[in-house]
């Protein structure tokens, strides 16, 4: 895959970031802070995006074993992205009328459909890279480029949404109309960019003419793939780390509004700070891999989790010093940047780890397992964040302290996940390039 082809394919993830930011960042914060919905209920609702993720294992298997329009990956990528975008224009009306049971039900269904479509499409982008590159190091570097474009999408989305939605009053019809328009235009733009991104990314294969076996004949069973010990350990590490990193997903922007009394335009900029940290660390990690000749996957993942734990402790401290200036004003911003840098290292390490574990004949299952386990952990983490904040308040803690408990718990989880970085002694993968 040429650099131009890779960058064009990366538009799929760039565009998807706008939908993710709109739902998990903008709409979530408006529901909790501006609409006054309880954190536990709101995070449960928005977590439905990730609870649908386990279906990605099924979609990955379908992609491995069948073709649509002569292609294994790109038609499915377009179909799943379109499915994800279809429900987004309806979310503003549904989320601003959550006092009606029907709105709650349809909002939950819409968020689940959006989450499933994005997860399935994004993981098939990774599977397509496996199909196109046989060398694991090359795959890891190429997937890292896709990740960088995804982060660029978050940064660009933060700028666009911060400009388009500087304030929001649910009682103002103009504000609701503006939110509805932004959601609709975002959905349309995401589909268009996805079509541009997949154009020419995968050649049509005539199985009969070329003598290529049917995909279902070459693909191993799902059970066979998932019983590989090195994949199981990687998935356990993924589950714990994603649970930790995403526990803040639905509470970070409300944290800025509830504890620091910041408007939506400012808390949206958290995504820019977070994204900048991710972008810089991913570029630096990729450069390190190129200089060393092989990527030090485990060392990078260890560094990521330790740095993330430090960032969460800093956020916990800032939640208790919100009235202390300048500490209360500056510490969250620094912590969010460090957290972004840790997440960037984590993404880069995971890219190399799972790209090394995947093969063309089972890439859909491996990527699907990545998405299924990771997505479910994101869902539980997002929900748990709201639960911890609400529980803290229910037992008499101040709101800032409740957020602090949630952040501190995230740091502990990241450190606990380090147990699963190391392979058992004597295993084949304990001495390979991933073992550094």
Please indicate, yes or no, if residue 208 is contained in any of the structural domains.
Answer: no
Please indicate, yes or no, if residue 205 is contained in any of the structural domains.
Answer: no
145-166 mean pLDDT:
86
Is residue 265 predicted with pLDDT exceeding 90?
A: no
Q: Count of CB atoms within 10 A of residue 298's CB? A: 21
Is residue 323 predicted with pLDDT exceeding 70?
A: no
- Report residue 112 as tokens: 């689940």
List 68's β-bridge partners, or say none.
71
199-216 mean pLDDT:
58
Please indicate, yes or no, if residue 422 is contained in any of the structural domains.
Answer: yes
Comparing 269 with 304, which gets the higher pLDDT? 304
The answer to whether 349 and 311 have CB atoms below 8 angstroms apart is: no
Please indicate, yes or no, if residue 85 is contained in any of the structural domains.
Answer: yes
Write the DSSP symbol of residue 68: B
Comparing 59 with 210, which gets the higher pLDDT? 59
The closest alpha carbon to 249, from 115, 62, 397, belongs to 115
Is residue 192 predicted with pLDDT exceeding 80?
A: yes
Residue 252 has a pLDDT of 85
List 71's β-bridge partners, or say none.
68
Comparing 267 with 242, which gets the higher pLDDT? 242
Alpha-carbon distance 234 to 375, whole Å? 15
The answer to whether 312 and 410 have CB atoms below 8 angstroms apart is: yes
Is residue 59 predicted with pLDDT exceeding 90?
A: no
Question: The pTM is what?
Answer: 0.73
Residue 308 has a pLDDT of 96
Range(s) of the domain holding residue 74:
3-199+222-435
Q: What is the pLDDT of residues 11-45, one digit of tens each?
A: 999 999 999 999 887 888 788 877 888 877 887 88
The closest alpha carbon to 123, from 363, 404, 310, 406, belongs to 363
Alpha-carbon distance 303 to 345, whole Å? 8
Q: Please state which of the ranges 254-263, 279-288, 322-331 shows the lowest mean pLDDT.
A: 322-331
Q: Please state which of the ranges 2-16, 128-142, 190-204, 255-269 shows the lowest mean pLDDT.
A: 255-269
Q: Please state which of the ranges 128-132, 272-276, 325-329, 400-404 shows the lowest mean pLDDT.
A: 325-329
User: Per-residue b/e over 249-271, b at no fewer than 16 CB within 10 Å?
Assistant: bbbbbbbbbbbbebebbebbbbb
Average pLDDT for the chain: 83
331-359 mean pLDDT:
89
Please indicate, yes or no, if residue 217 is contained in any of the structural domains.
Answer: no
Distances 115 to 18, 247, 284 between C-alpha atoms, Å: 13, 17, 30
Please indicate, yes or no, if residue 346 is contained in any of the structural domains.
Answer: yes
pLDDT band at residue 89, thresholds of 50, 70 and 90? very high
233-238 mean pLDDT:
92
Name, in order, each residue with C-beta under 8 angstroms of 143's C-beta and a sequence gap of 6 or more: 126, 129, 351, 352, 355
350 burial type by CB count under 10 A (0-12 exposed, 13-18 middle, 19+ buried): buried
Alpha-carbon distance 391 to 401, whole Å? 11
388-396 mean pLDDT:
87
**Chain position carrying tokens 């990521």:** 304
Please indicate, yes or no, if residue 206 is contained in any of the structural domains.
Answer: no
Number of domains in the chain: 1
Return the CATH number at 36.
1.20.1250.20
Please write down the HEC assignment for all residues of 92-139: HHHHCCCCCHHHHHHHHHHHHHHHHHHHHHHHHHHHHHHHHCCCHHHH
Name, in order, each residue with C-beta under 8 angstroms of 215's C-beta and a sequence gap of 6 or more: 64, 65, 66, 67, 72
Name, in order, each residue with C-beta under 8 angstroms of 46's C-beta and a sequence gap of 6 or more: 23, 24, 27, 28, 31, 111, 250, 382
Please indicate, yes or no, if residue 130 is contained in any of the structural domains.
Answer: yes
């Amino acid at each position: 895959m040429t650099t131009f082809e890779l960058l064009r394919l990366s538009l799929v993830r760039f565009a998807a970031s706008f939908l993710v930011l709109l739902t998990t960042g903008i709409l979530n914060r408006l529901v909790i802070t501006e609409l006054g919905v309880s954190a536990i209920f709101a995070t449960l609702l928005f977590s439905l995006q990730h609870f649908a993720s386990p279906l990605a294992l099924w979609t990955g298997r379908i992609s491995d074993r069948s073709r649509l329009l002569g292609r294994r990956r790109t038609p499915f990528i377009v179909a799943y992205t379109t499915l994800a975008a279809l429900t987004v224009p309806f979310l503003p009306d549904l989320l601003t009328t959550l006092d009606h049971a029907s709105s709650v039900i349809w909002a939950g269904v819409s968020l689940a459909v959006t989450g499933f479509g994005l997860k399935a499409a994004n993981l098939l982008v990774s599977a397509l890279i496996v199909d196109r590159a046989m060398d694991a190091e090359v795959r890891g570097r190429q997937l890292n480029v896709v990740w960088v474009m995804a982060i660029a999408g978050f940064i660009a989305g933060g700028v666009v949404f911060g400009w388009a939605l500087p304030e929001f009053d649910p009682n103002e019809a103009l504000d609701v109309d503006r939110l509805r328009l932004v959601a609709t235009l975002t959905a349309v733009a995401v589909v268009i960019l996805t079509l541009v991104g997949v154009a020419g990314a995968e050649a049509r294969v005539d199985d009969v003419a070329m003598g290529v076996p049917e995909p279902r004949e070459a693909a191993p069973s799902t059970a066979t793939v998932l019983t590989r010990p090195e994949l199981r350990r990687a998935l356990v590490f993924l589950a714990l780390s994603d649970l930790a990193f995403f526990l803040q997903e639905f509470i970070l922007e409300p944290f800025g509004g509830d504890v620091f009394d910041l408007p939506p335009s400012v808390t949206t900029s958290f995504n820019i700070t977070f994204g900048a940290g991710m972008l810089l660390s991913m570029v630096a990690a990729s450069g390190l891999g190129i200089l060393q000749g092989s990527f030090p996957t485990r060392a990078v993942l260890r560094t990521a989790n330790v740095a993330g734990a430090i960032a969460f402790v800093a956020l916990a401290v800032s939640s208790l010093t919100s009235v202390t200036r300048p500490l209360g004003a500056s510490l969250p911003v620094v912590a969010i940047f460090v957290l972004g840098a840790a997440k960037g290292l984590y993404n880069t390490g995971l890219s190399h780890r799972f790209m090394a574990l995947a093969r063309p004949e089972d890439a859909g299952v491996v990527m699907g397992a990545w998405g299924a386990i990771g997505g479910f952990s994101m869902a539980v983490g997002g929900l748990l964040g709201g639960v911890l904040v609400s529980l803290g308040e229910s037992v008499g803690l101040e709101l800032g302290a409740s957020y602090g408990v949630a952040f501190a718990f995230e740091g502990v989880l990241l450190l606990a996940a380090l147990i699963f970085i190391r392979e058992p002694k004597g295993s084949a993968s304990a001495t390979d390039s991933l073992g550094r």
